[in-house]
Amino acid sequence: MSAPISTDSILCKLADLAETGSRGFRVGDGDWPLKGFVLRLDDGSLRAWINFCPHAGHPLDLLPHRFLTADRQFIQCSSHGALFDPASGSCVAGPCLGRKLRPVAVVLQGDDIVLASNPADVDNARPQRVAESPH
């Protein structure tokens, strides 16, 4: 049996990804909260990334929860247009070519997307496949 998830670790609901394909989140208080975003790939799996451009060092989104290109094929930096592969986080076009976004480990618990028990462990940052809701 898995341990109960704290409501502090809930990033968003799965349904929150429907409108824009991605959803920003903030966990924690103070000067250094964890700021990131979650997206759902075409195969149904989830990915989550730190909201930080490896080229310019600022958030990727200009508008809330808008991290993807219009066709939802790439993550896009709103400042300089760099494109990132949504599955791997690798920059595929732009000034940070070859660099990567930093992953955040997430899992789906019911309809909630939550931080994995050890999000700092990059080896375990491969998100769990999304289980379809029985609704």
Does some domain include residue 78? yes
Tens of pLDDT, residue by residue over 88-105, are: 999 999 998 989 999 999
- Is position 65 within any domain? yes
Q: Note the pLDDT tens digit of each residue in 120-135.
A: 443 334 444 444 444 4
Residue 43 maps to a domain:
yes
Provide the whole-model pTM. 0.80
Q: Are 55 and 81 in contact (CB under 8 A)?
A: no
The string of pLDDT tens digits covering residues 7-64 is 558 899 999 998 888 999 998 877 778 899 999 998 889 999 999 999 888 899 988 8
Pairing status of strand 46-50 against strand 34-40: antiparallel
Q: Domain containing 70: what range? A: 7-122
Q: How many domains does the chain have?
A: 1
**Residue 2 belongs to some domain of the structure:** no
Residue pair 87/74 in contact (Cβ under 8 Å)? The answer is: no
Q: Name, in order, each residue with C-beta under 8 angstroms of 107's C-beta and a sequence gap of 6 or more.
A: 113, 114, 116, 127, 128
CATH number reported for the structural domain that contains residue 78 in this entry: 2.102.10.10
Task: With respect to residue 92, please indicate whether it lies within any of the assigned structural domains.
Answer: yes
Structure confidence at residue 57 (pLDDT):
83
Query: Is 100 a domain residue?
Result: yes
